[in-house]
Copies of this chain bind each other. A is one copy, B any other.
Amino acid sequence: MAEPEQQMLKIDACFSPYLYPVYKDEDSIVVIIDILRATSAICTAFQYGAEKIIPVATVEEARLYKQQGYLVGAERDAIPVDGFDFGNSPFSYMGEKVRGQTIVITTTNGTQAIDVARGAYKVVVGSFLNLDALCSWLVSEKRNILLLCSGWKNKFNLEDALFAGAVTEEINKRSNDFKHGDACLALKYLYQMAVKDPYKFLRYSSHKERLARLNLKDDIKYCLTPDQTRIIPVLANGALVKMCV
């Protein structure tokens, strides 16, 4: 008799784009996670009416788009790169200037994660901002799920892990169909420790310290606030477009 678990769907988490080849499964839905701040900024831009977002891996590519007249966001080491329209603060992607626009974006970690996962069955963008919409949709798809944390320069980071834990927990509440990989087992515990006060939970994290030094506490608080949009950005022909659920 087959073991029941063999018929279950799988949910697992990968803590670094560098590690993606080990977890790669082309039949999975891959959720790209870069909480501080790329995937939060991307969700914000769509919420404010952006039409399309083209993620590119390098500043050089971004510059070529800029020369062609595109709106372009470029960030490295948490700082906006000179000569572009945006960094990766979600606040800069609000308002009329993004409505109906195609925006090109390159960031230290998040756009690299999108790049490595391109071949997957479906690539979507997750952040606390679209947590509820994302989890409901993921459950309805009945597919294996891989939560791909962008991390910081390919190292594990706490805020992406925390969000991956939130997704694991929310999917758990909605469905018993998923078998958890070991990373998701660990993340569930992590999220349970953090859920009452995620801001405080992150107080010693490396990237929070990095952003606090840059006076970006409001960015952090915004990025940790759940359910501000029902839009799920999805990769189609190399660009992110919105899927409303």
Interface residues of A (CB under 8 A from B): 12-13, 15-16, 18-19, 21-23, 152-158, 161, 180-183, 185-186, 189-190, 192-194, 204-207
Contact = CB atoms under 8 A, between A and B. Distances in A.
B161 A181 contact: no
A172 B183 CA distance: 24
Interface of A is mostly: helix
A12 B158 CA distance: 12
A206 B12 CA distance: 12
How many copies of this chain does one complex carry?
A: 2
B155 A23 contact: yes
Contacts of A186: 156, 158, 161, 186, 190
Given A18-B18, A182-B207, A186-B186, 9 more contacts: A15-B156, A18-B21, A22-B155, A155-B183, A158-B185, A161-B186, A189-B193, A190-B190, A193-B193
Contact of A152 (B182, B194, B206): B182
